[in-house]
Chain A
């Protein structure tokens, strides 16, 4: 087996045993990237010397006896979505507007990864400012799906999912505002978890929609994402919305049967518009759960159908303010003007892509005097109803079970002309962010021709990541899907 093919936890076992070095693992990733990333384009930038330097430092600690119990990610090469602030490194958010910006500080997740011993390397592609579902909205070119480079990897964390599935790294950290971790995980055939809002600090993550954004890991297996989540989760005094709740040892709590676990099947989620092969894979997954002893119960999320509309009001409203700071005054590629207003227009006009502009305009509109009550306030009320739906459903069951995406990876360019069609690709994932709870996507099969991965989504109780991961892990270990790798 080639080194890059190992899972994260297989790698740490070998690092601990002294069978491989972190430098070898890092080099294997770089070699793999050289070999396959030409067609995938997951990586936008890699500081190779810095990466190998970090790996050497990790090897030194390993030699001196530091264990993975102390530093769970010691020596493990991890890639980051281009949205995280790493000191002296670019954070472009796949946008032109930030130009040569270098972050003056490390965000909390980056600090925690460093504390856990990870080798943080490479910035992976995304939809500009995390706005999109296909990673086509990148100023640095689209990313291809490892299963078919003509197809999209999903988005906005498409670079993370593609890099993991193409085995270019041992894990990747993304963000999920309306499905941006789970949807690309499903389309690329890897695992991605969106933790409960407040579980992982947002300090140092360029904000898209502050009340919906959440950081989460993507990996080859449930166990890998559990290990990563354990490293990055926890209260952060620099993020007032992070929650001071204990972080369990997620990876240690994965084992055990799931007999008697109750899974809720939202009846609203299996209507029209779902691809028959996706439906078949999903139904097979439900059966598999039954055979593992889980009880399936139909539940109702009556306001689910308003999720996408609600999301596109609240997320764009927040984004219109969050993205205002990219104005060319303190940073960003400035395009001069005769007065400040002209400078703003020129800078932002030249720097932002079309989808970002569309959402800023939409968000500005819904907050405008005279429209605020009809849009923003109304959407907040619907959000409360959606949250209530989830609370009620999750009182009766341990988790909800749904497809992650109604279809599989689509061809590049197929939906770019129709933003609404693109928005609907998050139809199953979006409510989870509005409700603020946690969700995971795991591989649950493939379509026949072409062979493309299908994702299964499980939605858990707030701060119920441990139970969610355990339920996902039981399924994963009883099925072959997580062992399948894209032929590259």
Chain B
């Protein structure tokens, strides 16, 4: 990684070579490595090192964005030339645009020393550890990955912010014949990653998933594991918390914001300060990100405003500008679904009849107006009878209205886990939910 000193020099160079231009620049630099395995052998093993410098320039209320991975003086000159040409042809925005206010802060460094020089051999050792947990009749599929990221925000009005963060991630599907179990994990370093316990769970679920029974589609009481809960709330966060679409009334939030949508113990935050999260401290406009409630005591409390949406609708930006090429859209990237009051064992033992869902697969939005989501169950779906997981169930498709789903939450577990979702790590508990709607089954 180039480090803070290199970027302080870039700040100086940019202000030297971009004189007369109002700009906001964002650098992403990432060293990432990933070891992927299938059928209990490594089949893909990669490392990449890349950087990008994006410069948003503005003049006469017009904006243009140019990006390059050439950070030399000659690269900066080319970027400037490109921006000048683009600004010539760009047309003005329909609201008064201004760059974010000056933002200053201490460098934020969240990279464990042990992560700065991880070798492929060390990642492979984690894979070896996983193999020892699996028995001979179980095959493992998944990945182990680590990344170190530097993010720098520079502006013509004097902003210089530097943050670095790192994460290690894994997921594993354990296969026992055609039966499967799944687990994933995220931590700030390999020392903190709880691999063994989760791999053991995936293997146990795979063994329990043999000989699944077929059940009819319909409405069932379900207990959702943290992986499944995090998927539902990720889609909710993406679809329903964007202040821009809220103001245009083309978001479900137009109907539900301010309403009670679930029980008192339902609390959902975007929280970069949570100890189990990988914190993203500043947004790309340099706005310090803070813990913000999305759902508080069962009430849908807030939507978020990126820089452009805030200017346009006269709102305060909330620290959710994550793309310089889309200054309107906001996404909660440190999503935390908070713990409830019920131990998961009690949640299970209190369930006379229902279905346990470990994980969903390929979720999507069916109806963006009512937040109707669909998806399949996968890697560990079980019948619950008299408080016990008794039989594996063939995978089912669900279609649920998110805001009915939240009203039907009966219990939220005391236990929470960090899961490696497709995009950002998320923290979620187990949930017991009534009338969960399965609409078809697989072949």
Same complex for A and B? Answer: no
